[in-house]
Chains A and B, each alone.
Chain A
Amino acid sequence: MGVDRRAVIGLIAGGAVGTMFTPAIWKTTGSIALWSQNWGWIPRIPKGERKYAYTTSKLCPSGSGLKVLTVDGLPLTAAGNPAHPLSQGGVSALGLSECYLLYSPARVKKPLLKTGAQFKEISWDEALGLLADKLKAAGGKAAAISGDQNGTANEVISALLAKLGCADKFFLMPSEGQAAGRAWQLMGGHGLIGYDLANADTVLALGADLFESSGATMLNARSYSAQRSSLDKPAAKLVYVGSQRTTTAYASSKWVPCLPGREAAVALGLAALLIKGGASSDAPDFADFKAFVSAGYTPDKVEALTGIKAEVLEKLAKKLTEAKKPLVVAGSEFGQGAPGAAYMAALAVNILLKRINVPGGVYATPEFPKVVDGALSRTQMASADLVKYLSSVAAGKTPAPELLITYDANPAFGLPQAPAMAKALAGAGFKAAFASFMDETAAQADLVLPASLPMERYDDVVSPYGAPFAVYSLVKPLLKKPVHDTKAACDVILAAAAKAGLALGADSFEKLLKTKVAAVAKSGGFIAGKDASPSAALAGKDVAAFSGDPWKALMEGAAYVVASPVKQDGLTLGTKTLAAALKADGAKAEDGALALTCAYKTRSGSPAVGIPAQDLTAVRDTELAGTKTVATLNAATAKMFKLEAGESIKLTGPAGEISALVALSETVMTGVVAVPMGFGHTAFDDFSKNKGQNVLAVMTATEEPATGVNSWSGSKVKIAKI
């Protein structure tokens, strides 16, 4: 039997029809689609039990509580903890980054010792021994810089310096909290300062970018949100005064343009108008204050200083007078470098409006007790000025320290006049850096001690600046063991101190925190929750005091709150200091110089963290064009300097220069150039490195007379086409 053409065609056709009736071909086609997308190098998603863990964000300065999704015990994503009073469910770009930053390529994985120009890996024993030796050798010639603004870690480090005999060389990285704290002290105030936005009906933000960089930002944002249902009229007004549309300005009902660094003049102008309208105060220096502001801060004079038209200032004063619960908050547009006078003047306005320690006003909150012998208090810490110290070292007036310890701080990047400051730091004898990431400071250190990140260690967040109530929450390790060979920095400090014969009274930071929690829990406060809202407590609601195991409650992500303010006696309006500090205000008229302001966003990270990998896409092309920093001016300013969009310019300050591309936007006031902050890293990983330039390099730090506060929010730059 032969195979003819007909049989072959029949077979093929039969086969084709036959396959239509089997699922094999369809199944295979479907599978091809799946196979062709399942390459080995495409990561697979985890399949395990989903659970939530609660902790507090240490990377975000707002101290937000975090609700962390874990799968098989690994933390994956962080959202805001709805029950935590400082987050109320909201989370910033920095808080969000806590999980994945554990695996950042920039992490320091082992202790490193610099030999020549290179780092070599050493063991923890060697590192500890070396640090102990250096501590012994340095004696009173040590200094420490901490990037933690409020934690008990600062007690440990300041106590160590006290043991060495140089407690006055303990410095915090500059922050608004410090400058505001100094201002409050100079006015005779007691306690820490906080602002009760939740209960205020009119908030005037003088420079302070309340939702991005000033104070308890997340609490501020949540308070704002709660007052606006989007259906009815807002329950509160928010007015922003500043030289650019900051994050807060976008959410405000009105933006009042004002030259950067001139917040004090605005506040004093308002004070003059309020006094003219009948406001007064029991403060002992009220008569002097009245004379000072009435003569020096008339609306016309304020207009000349700030650019705010007299009628606009009058309207603002009227708004404050008409409000039932007004609140004035001063600060810097980028969270640092505002002069002390700005805070003092704004606090004086609050005093005139009788808004101290009342719902919706400024609250003085108590400090929790210290638990390390010899440690500095928050108030004491606020009076040491790092910029002043380093400027003095750079000028050769103060000897450089023989041992410099940096803790979660990156002063080589994050200080004004950055190149000069980095040079002063480089002069230190031996530099030991506790760093989680290979940042600019770690890169120039002699010994790098890899620090565990917040999700790998015990730590705490203690009343971040701006919270209107004292609040304490714990940070706990969510991983069974750290991702790399890192240790909690405070454990290492305690061990090294003991080894050097300077024992600080605890052998582990966890134990020390337990002591702290026990001490904190005696403050008569409560655990914040649904029925125990700190804002409601401030407004007069009775909340039952906490009884129970505080450590257990705090380990579950709760926050311990004391919502009773510190009584004030002898509060003044700070007239003398203000008058001396502002003597030179408006005296300078630079030729060809342009007022410089910065735009800081949490999405560009922080000096000690760099730009978190996932945040880079949120950085706008109006901040960073490829790898170039974008400087924004409005069309009128650009015309004055004969600049066009897209042109390259050079900005020059007294200590350095940076280049940028020009962008035109009417969101910046005339006469001001806005440059984004947080870029220009030379260390870290590819997500941070070589992206833009560090604007801090061209900022000028000036010591304010009388307050002694170094400020750089009123910096000027020369601008030239390149």
Chain B
Amino acid sequence: MSEFKEFATKWGLVVDLDKCTGCGACMISCQVENNIAPVVEASNKLRSLNWMWIFEMTNGKAFPENDAAFLPRPCMQCGKPPCVSVCPVVATDKNEEGGIVSQIYPRCIGCRYCVGACPYHARYFNWFDPIWPEGMEKAITPHASTRPRGVVEKCTLCHHRWNYAKEKARQEGKDPSALPENAYVPACVEACPTGAMYFGDLKNPKHKVHELAKSPNAFRLLEKLGTNPQVYYVSAREWVRKQGDNQLPAKEKA
């Protein structure tokens, strides 16, 4: 795998799975914010497209020893993104301060190599044009351009919100590269009723995620693949942490 840059600011998401109720507010706020068209067949999961998806986890034991949890999955914003290495047209890249993996729709030729390469199933291909029910396009937001069929899309950690936060900082004469905690949070984090999601600069000790990501309860999905995600999970439950790595035999601790 080719080498990727290291950035001074690394936007990171930490999800406390012990606080997540699987309510879906993150998914819905994401869809509305980022102009994902509602689909009548959405109850058929093969037709739906979600930048944020919630997986259900179970310890596999029978009732009453059973335990279960939900795992919200946005794009992991990998430090070594497998999707970027395979994109033939540089439609996706990890090349901007903050470490958010970009997705440039007009460049995308729809080859779907990235979809196949992503181990987290975080990328979705538009098999259909986005059609809003008549009139509902009036509620489209200015944040994300609508995507036609034939291109791949994914979570951007609401990159536009970062732009707005930087804009605001500049207007107020503050340093846009040193945003205070919560000046920029994605829609999912903002909406979460139980406060299961934390967001901030992983490299900034003033941001809570900096400490949370180092917690002994923290883990990342399929960590052993070496993708180095910027999305962390925490859980006090060992079985949850183990499943996060698909229970592969432990080799070395990163």
Question: Which B residues are CB-close (under 8 A) to A102?
Answer: 138-139
User: Within B1-55, which residues are at the interface with A (CB < 8 Å)?
Assistant: 14, 16, 18-25, 27-29, 31-33, 35-36, 38-40, 42-45, 48-50, 54
Check A103/B139 contact, CB under 8 A, given A33-B106, A80-B191, A228-B195: yes
User: Within B182-202, which residues are at the interface with A (CB < 8 Å)?
Assistant: 187, 190-196, 198
Query: Across the interface, do A666 and B141 meet the contact criterion of CB distance under 8 Å?
Result: no
Binary per-residue interface labels of chain A (678-722) against chain B in the complex, 1 for a CB within 8 Å, 0 otherwise: 000000011100010000000000000000000000000000000
Chain B min CB distance to A44 (Å):
7
Write the chain A residue with the least CB distance to B135.
Answer: A103
Check A93/B28 contact, CB under 8 A, given A77-B33, A257-B63: yes
Question: Which A residues are CB-close (under 8 A) to B211?
Answer: 231
Question: Which A residues are CB-close (under 8 A) to B144?
Answer: 45
User: Within B117-141, which residues are at the interface with A (CB < 8 Å)?
Assistant: 129-141
Q: Count CB-based A-B contacts (< 8 Å).
A: 240
Query: Across the interface, do B24 and A230 meet the contact criterion of CB distance under 8 Å?
Result: no
Query: Across the interface, do B29 and A96 meet the contact criterion of CB distance under 8 Å?
Result: yes
B251 contacts the other chain (Cβ, under 8 Å)? no
A264 CA to B49 CA in the complex, in Å? 44
Binary per-residue interface labels of chain A (26-38) against chain B in the complex, 1 for a CB within 8 Å, 0 otherwise: 0000100110011
CB<8 Å pairs between A and B, sample of 11: A37-B106, A89-B190, A100-B139, A103-B138, A221-B195, A225-B195, A230-B14, A230-B16, A247-B22, A667-B66, A691-B43
Query: Across the interface, do A230 and B234 meet the contact criterion of CB distance under 8 Å?
Result: yes
User: Within B144-167, which residues are at the interface with A (CB < 8 Å)?
Assistant: 144-148, 150-151, 164
Chain A min CB distance to B232 (Å):
11
A212 contacts the other chain (Cβ, under 8 Å)? yes
User: Within A44-65, which residues are at the interface with B (CB < 8 Å)?
Assistant: 44-48, 50
A601 CA to B134 CA in the complex, in Å? 27
Q: Is the interface of B mostly helix, strand, loop or mixed?
A: loop
Q: Interface segment, A68-76, A149-157, A382-390, A571-579?
A: A68-76
Query: Across the interface, do B45 and A621 meet the contact criterion of CB distance under 8 Å?
Result: yes
Check A618/B19 contact, CB under 8 A, given A71-B142, A225-B195, A231-B215: no
Question: Which B residues are CB-close (under 8 A) to A90?
Answer: 25, 191-195
Question: Which A residues are CB-close (under 8 A) to B68?
Answer: 245, 250, 666-667
Question: Which A residues are CB-close (under 8 A) to B137?
Answer: 43
Question: Which A residues are CB-close (under 8 A) to B174?
Answer: none
Question: Which A residues are CB-close (under 8 A) to B141?
Answer: 45-46, 69, 71, 76-77
- Report which residue of A75, A229, A614, A634 has the largest number of chain B beta carbons within 10 angstroms of its beta carbon: A614
Query: Across the interface, do B19 and A96 meet the contact criterion of CB distance under 8 Å?
Result: no
Check A47/B142 contact, CB under 8 A, given A37-B151, A103-B133, A666-B58: yes
Write the chain B residue with the least CB distance to A229.
Answer: B208
Question: Which B residues are CB-close (under 8 A) to A211?
Answer: 21, 23, 193-194
Query: Across the interface, do B38 and A614 meet the contact criterion of CB distance under 8 Å?
Result: yes
Question: Which B residues are CB-close (under 8 A) to A48?
Answer: 142
Write the chain A residue with the least CB distance to B185.
Answer: A89
A627 CA to B133 CA in the complex, in Å? 20
A interface residues, Cβ below 8 angstroms from B: 30, 33-34, 37-39, 41-48, 50, 69, 71, 74-77, 79-80, 89-93, 96-97, 99-100, 102-105, 211-212, 217-218, 221-222, 224-226, 228-231, 245, 247-248, 250-251, 257, 483, 601-603, 613-622, 624-627, 634-636, 665-670, 685-687, 691
Chain B min CB distance to A181 (Å):
25
- Report which residue of B105, B136, B139, B187 has the largest number of chain A beta carbons within 10 angstroms of its beta carbon: B139
A230 CA to B31 CA in the complex, in Å? 27
Chain A min CB distance to B161 (Å):
11
- Report which residue of B19, B54, B105, B208 has the largest number of chain A beta carbons within 10 angstroms of its beta carbon: B19
Query: Across the interface, do B43 and A621 meet the contact criterion of CB distance under 8 Å?
Result: yes
Query: Across the interface, do A685 and B63 meet the contact criterion of CB distance under 8 Å?
Result: no
A665 CA to B60 CA in the complex, in Å? 10
10 additional A-B pairs beyond A230-B234, A624-B43, A666-B62, beta carbons within 8 Å, are A37-B151, A42-B146, A76-B141, A103-B136, A211-B23, A222-B193, A226-B195, A666-B58, A666-B66, A668-B63
Write the chain A residue with the least CB distance to B215.
Answer: A231
A236 CA to B129 CA in the complex, in Å? 48
Question: Which B residues are CB-close (under 8 A) to A666?
Answer: 58, 61-63, 66, 68
Write the chain A residue with the least CB distance to B64.
Answer: A257
Chain A min CB distance to B218 (Å):
10
A562 CA to B76 CA in the complex, in Å? 45
B69 contacts the other chain (Cβ, under 8 Å)? yes
Query: Across the interface, do A104 and B132 meet the contact criterion of CB distance under 8 Å?
Result: no
Question: Which B residues are CB-close (under 8 A) to A251?
Answer: 18-21, 194
Query: Across the interface, do B148 and A42 meet the contact criterion of CB distance under 8 Å?
Result: yes
B107 contacts the other chain (Cβ, under 8 Å)? yes
Query: Across the interface, do A221 and B28 meet the contact criterion of CB distance under 8 Å?
Result: no
A366 CA to B188 CA in the complex, in Å? 36
Chain B min CB distance to A203 (Å):
13
Query: Across the interface, do A93 and B23 meet the contact criterion of CB distance under 8 Å?
Result: yes
A222 CA to B139 CA in the complex, in Å? 28
Query: Across the interface, do B138 and A221 meet the contact criterion of CB distance under 8 Å?
Result: no
Query: Across the interface, do B42 and A634 meet the contact criterion of CB distance under 8 Å?
Result: no
Question: Which A residues are CB-close (under 8 A) to B194?
Answer: 90, 211, 221, 224-225, 251
Question: Which A residues are CB-close (under 8 A) to B113?
Answer: none
Query: Across the interface, do B66 and A626 meet the contact criterion of CB distance under 8 Å?
Result: no
B239 contacts the other chain (Cβ, under 8 Å)? no
B87 contacts the other chain (Cβ, under 8 Å)? no
B212 contacts the other chain (Cβ, under 8 Å)? yes
B56 contacts the other chain (Cβ, under 8 Å)? yes
Write the chain A residue with the least CB distance to B61.
Answer: A666
Partner of A616, one of B39, B63, B107, B164: B39
Write the chain A residue with the least CB distance to B136.
Answer: A103
A212 CA to B25 CA in the complex, in Å? 11
Query: Across the interface, do A602 and B23 meet the contact criterion of CB distance under 8 Å?
Result: yes
A624 CA to B44 CA in the complex, in Å? 8
Question: Which B residues are CB-close (under 8 A) to A226?
Answer: 195
Question: Which A residues are CB-close (under 8 A) to B44?
Answer: 626
Query: Across the interface, do B31 and A92 meet the contact criterion of CB distance under 8 Å?
Result: no
Question: Which A residues are CB-close (under 8 A) to B69?
Answer: 250
Question: Which B residues are CB-close (under 8 A) to A636?
Answer: 62-63
Question: Which B residues are CB-close (under 8 A) to A601?
Answer: 23-24
Nearest first, the 3 closest Cβ-Cβ pairs linking A and B are A225-B195, A618-B24, A666-B66
A232 CA to B194 CA in the complex, in Å? 16
Chain B min CB distance to A631 (Å):
16
Query: Across the interface, do B142 and A50 meet the contact criterion of CB distance under 8 Å?
Result: yes
Query: Across the interface, do A618 and B139 meet the contact criterion of CB distance under 8 Å?
Result: no
A614 CA to B129 CA in the complex, in Å? 16
A91 CA to B66 CA in the complex, in Å? 30
A214 CA to B220 CA in the complex, in Å? 34
Write the chain B residue with the least CB distance to A47.
Answer: B142
Query: Across the interface, do A248 and B191 meet the contact criterion of CB distance under 8 Å?
Result: no
A89 CA to B25 CA in the complex, in Å? 12
Query: Across the interface, do A616 and B130 meet the contact criterion of CB distance under 8 Å?
Result: no
Query: Across the interface, do A91 and B24 meet the contact criterion of CB distance under 8 Å?
Result: no
Query: Across the interface, do B195 and A39 meet the contact criterion of CB distance under 8 Å?
Result: no
Chain A min CB distance to B49 (Å):
8
A74 CA to B138 CA in the complex, in Å? 8
A626 CA to B137 CA in the complex, in Å? 25
A668 CA to B58 CA in the complex, in Å? 13
Question: Which A residues are CB-close (under 8 A) to B33?
Answer: 77
Chain A min CB distance to B55 (Å):
10
Check A614/B28 contact, CB under 8 A, given A33-B106, A45-B144, A636-B63: yes
Write the chain A residue with the least CB distance to B33.
Answer: A77
Write the chain A residue with the least CB distance to B109.
Answer: A33
Check A79/B190 contact, CB under 8 A, given A103-B135, A222-B195, A250-B20: yes
Query: Across the interface, do A39 and B148 meet the contact criterion of CB distance under 8 Å?
Result: yes
Write the chain A residue with the least CB distance to B53.
Answer: A617
Partner of B38, one of A603, A635, A665, A687: A687
Question: Which A residues are CB-close (under 8 A) to B31?
Answer: 614, 617
- Report which residue of B24, B133, B208 has the largest number of chain A beta carbons within 10 angstroms of its beta carbon: B24
Partner of B23, one of A44, A97, A212, A669: A212
